[in-house]
Structure 1
Amino acid sequence: MVVYVDLATNPRGRTILAALWPMTTLAGVFLGLRLYSKLTRSRGLWWDDYFIIAAWITLLVSCTTSTANSRLGFGLYHSQLPLENLVTLGINSLISGTTSVIAVACSKTSFGVTLLRLTDGWMKRFVIALLVLLNITHYFSAVAFWVSCNPPAKTWNSLLPGECWPASVTVNSSLFVGACSAFCDFALALLPWRLLLRYDIYNREKIGVAIAMSMGVL
């Protein structure tokens, strides 16, 4: 049976929640405005909308499991954690990590799919290559959370006998996935600038649209 930890004794846990929930809520507000503007103009939803909805849902799951973990001691030193909570903490952490990675993949895929509707030729092929790279690396990372130990149960219960991947493998693979993610961010952020050059609109409108479409670089 798990032992709940008072957040008053877990300042790092409070900091985690103070960062996660406002950002998740803000993302939900922007998503709601996007869907509202499309549906009220009878434009309907397309694949990019479904991907961004999936991204927010998985982000919400990640935020929720991190919140549950904060009540179990997430944010405290390992020596301060109640032993009864370790298995539940481990499972929640794997769920949170998996869904956060999927959320990143879905959100970037959503924007990439949007660009596919606006591009042709080499730019379309480049966007497709980015989406393939992005999804292969991120879903590999999501699956790796659960299969990095033998037996797999050791991934969420470190007290079980067995073997896990060396720390260097985990660190290097994470760095590689992060590097691919950053590369895709910058590439997808810069493409709109090249794309908008072909449209005959005012320069200030081009710059405004390009900046809005490039916010992913942040």
Structure 2
Amino acid sequence: MSGSVLPGISGYNPHNLQPWTVEVVTSVTALATVAVGLRLLSRHIKAQKLWWDDYMIIFSLAWNFIVVGLIFGMYSAGMGIHADKVPLDDIVRMAKLLVAAEIFYAFNLVWTKLSVLLMYYRVFRFPLFKNMAYGIGAFVIAWVITITFLFIFICVPVEKLWYPDLPGHCIDQVGTWIANAASTILSDIAILVLPIPQVWKLQLRKPEKIGVTFAFCLGFFVVFASAYRFSVLFSYSNGDPTYTLAPTVGWTAIEMSAGIVSACLPTLGPVFAVCATKLGIKRTLLTTRGERTNNTGSSKNFAGQSGTASMRDGADLELQKAMKASGGAGFYRLPDSQMSGDTTRAPDAELRPKHGYGYTVTSHPGKGDGESLSGDEVPLHGIRVHTDFKQSTG
């Protein structure tokens, strides 16, 4: 739409951002939906039941759809067109929809972050690591409660946000967005960095550690999206709210979808394995040492050392069998919640999945190899691998 006296934004169409908004929002939302679908397909391939982290990312995708619906509502009200070409009633309607979209957007980010933290919880059982995950989770929950009140009561009375001439007062809207973006970036970095030190403590070869680290670091794209969205916030102008809001909204959709995709990437090993098999690729960087040892007949144990007294041959063989059965996605296999025997459960057994082959790295400070172990634990040089052999030996 031409003829506006208001200036455009550098790097964007100077007259109409509606086509750009539709293309961006539609494409990234489709990408997030595909990522969640592939995650569910991975669960189906490995015959694993869904757990809380899976349900949480599905919930996050549902809230993403709600935000997208609100974005298209703003689109129909004239978002992307210069304000001097949009009726006042439509500008008011867009402002109301924006408040709702901001709230749903904040909660979408929280559901995604909690999904990642729950995934960490089912993989790593180091007490310090779990406490750090709890701390970050508490922070993001406190953050979303705070930011929700800020978004709702940015103006007092609330109606002053879309009727500026009403008596009352408002805090700086862009300043609120900046504070929200800074907190989001900080928590994203903390969540993404959290597992990396633990990965490098695992009994894996260096290339395997690099591969696992790379899988987790793929999530840093969401940090880039959040950072770029942060820079776009400064292009917003109260003098032309309908047009200048479009880039911020577009990058909001990118940030939400990038978070969902990043949360799903570490779970897609089974899908990648099937694709690799179809392409004739037999080995990957993340093939577990136990599987390679079993295939080559080497006398080396899972820890990569031969003749070690801390790994009994029978337990080593069972571990290799269980790992091979789990499909090679070594850093994301899930243990049975049953500990030793049929009636003894771990303190957190009710929270943990009751399915799947796998191992989860655990730490038991103060216990040596000579002390008694529960029925499904094998000592690995001070790091214990929690395994489930019940189905693999059947």
Category of TM-score, reference length = shorter chain = 0.7 to 0.9
1:123 equivalent in structure 2: 129
- Output one character per residue of 1:157-202: Cα deviation in whole Å (capped at 9) or x when no partner: 32572323321xx444433332222122222222222111232233
TM-score normalised by structure 2 residue count: 0.49
Q: Which AA in structure 2 matches 1:65? A: L
Report matched runs for 1:1-218 at 5 Å. 11-117=16-122, 118-155=124-161, 157-158=162-163, 161-167=166-172, 170-218=173-221
Q: Which has the larger radius of gyration?
A: 2
Contact 1:11–1:75 (Cα < 8 Å) also in 2: yes
Q: Distance in 2 between matches of 1:11 and 1:79?
A: 12
Q: Distance in 2 between matches of 1:90 and 1:172?
A: 17
Contact 2:15–2:82 (Cα < 8 Å) also in 1: no
For 1:162, what is the secondary structure of its paired residue? Answer: coil
Structure with bigger helix share is 1
* Runs of at least 4 residues off by over 6 Å: none
For 2:80, what is the secondary structure of its paired residue? Answer: coil
Contact 1:133–1:180 (Cα < 8 Å) also in 2: no
Q: Distance in 1 between matches of 2:213 and 2:145?
A: 29
Contact 1:149–1:162 (Cα < 8 Å) also in 2: no
Contact 1:10–1:76 (Cα < 8 Å) also in 2: yes
Alignment CA distance shift 1:215-1:158 (3 Å): farther
* RMSD, aligned CA: 2.2
Deviation at 1:55, TM superposition (A): 1.4
TM-score normalised by structure 1 residue count: 0.84
For 2:219, what is the secondary structure of its paired residue? Answer: helix
Contact 1:192–1:214 (Cα < 8 Å) also in 2: no
Q: Which AA in structure 1 matches 2:36? A: L
Unpaired runs of at least 5, structure 1: 1-8
1:6 equivalent in structure 2: none
Unpaired runs of at least 5, structure 2: 1-13, 222-394
